[in-house]
Amino acid sequence: MNPLLQSVQVALQNAEQKEAISFIDKVVDFCIEHENGKVLAGWPEDLMQLLVAYHIAKDTFIVEQNDDGDITALGMWYNCDEDSDWSFIENWEPDNKDSNGIFIGFLHATSTDLFKKITKKFLEVCPEAMQKKLIMMRHRSGAIKRVKSNHRLFNKILAI
């Protein structure tokens, strides 16, 4: 059972926070536009809305917007054990702040400069990422592959 997830579900169902829901919908639209059917393929929009709201509620969400309020960069992640896989997400398991890994669920920006900016922001919000194992799922040769990394990935991104 995941109490935070349940409270987010109730808040979305009540639909009383119109401004928050509007923002969440903008984030979902950004995800759909930029994930190319690789990260959230087959997910209905209401499930994506729940995913975004859940990340906002658990403080594993960063975003950049331009002057017009358009989303230009986005990051969402999970605190988990380094041996965690996609089932961690599918089962909506609660984050474990004391874990030894970070599962990067979504990280995208519309330009290289914004990618560097969102990476810096991620490291400000989640400085422990420099000491933990990083886990990502990548599409390679038509299949999903689990990829492990470490803080050197951030150094590469910031050096671009």
**Per-residue pLDDT reduced to its tens digit, 65-85:** 999 999 999 999 999 998 887
Pairing, β 133-140 against β 101-109: parallel
User: What is the share, in percent, of the chain residues with pLDDT greater than 90?
Assistant: 40
Separation CA 27–CA 63 (nearest Å): 9
Position 83 scores a pLDDT of: 86
Tell whether the model's pLDDT for residue 64 goes beyond 90.
yes
Q: Chain-wide mean pLDDT for the chain?
A: 85
**pLDDT value at residue 9:** 78
Residue 159 has pLDDT above 90, yes or no: no
